[in-house]
Amino acid sequence: MEFSDRQHASAHSPARRSSPRSCIQTRPLAEIFPPDASGIDDATSESTQRMRVHIVASALFLSWAMSIHANEPLTMAVSPVQSFAPTNLTIRVHVEPDAGNRAFEVVAESSDYYRSSRIQLDGVGAPRTIALEIRNLPGGDYDVRGALIDSAGHERAAVRKQVIVLGSAGSE
């Protein structure tokens, strides 16, 4: 078989070009995607209606789930929730601004380890998001608690998360 730069034409396709360096043949878009090709059926079928109902229900559920936390004075996310020792625990706290917010206290506690930190807040002027990191946390099942404290030292709001840090094989 010999390659040449001549153009070959057939009854079914427009002119195509073949060269010794390339085996790729090109075709016009109209041949690949004919304008009269059928696409997605525009008629509303039962499965399409069911899918729309599921999408609307999911959207409503998610908006409801997000609005649950919208007016809470304190929310907390801890990561990783499960890891190997020693680990660095990242704690992100969202605080709704309030004149009564004077401090935020966080505690990470297991049967063998205790660590706490207290951060002063300036009421309405306090940052909405607080990020903390506890480094080199040893193995254990941890109860991580966060609390908003008022000017009298009373707890205004509290949150709690569970964290599992798996100990190394040599430490047991």
Residue-wise pLDDT for 98-143, tens only, equals 899 999 999 999 999 999 999 999 988 999 999 999 999 999 999 9
CATH number at residue 125: 2.60.40.730
Domain assignment present for 32:
no
Domain assignment present for 31:
no
Q: Which domain holds residue 138?
A: 74-171
On whether the CB atoms of residues 107 and 94 are closer than 8 A, the answer is no
Domain assignment present for 154:
yes
Number of domains in the chain: 1
Domain assignment present for 41:
no
pTM score, whole prediction: 0.57
Domain assignment present for 109:
yes
Domain assignment present for 49:
no
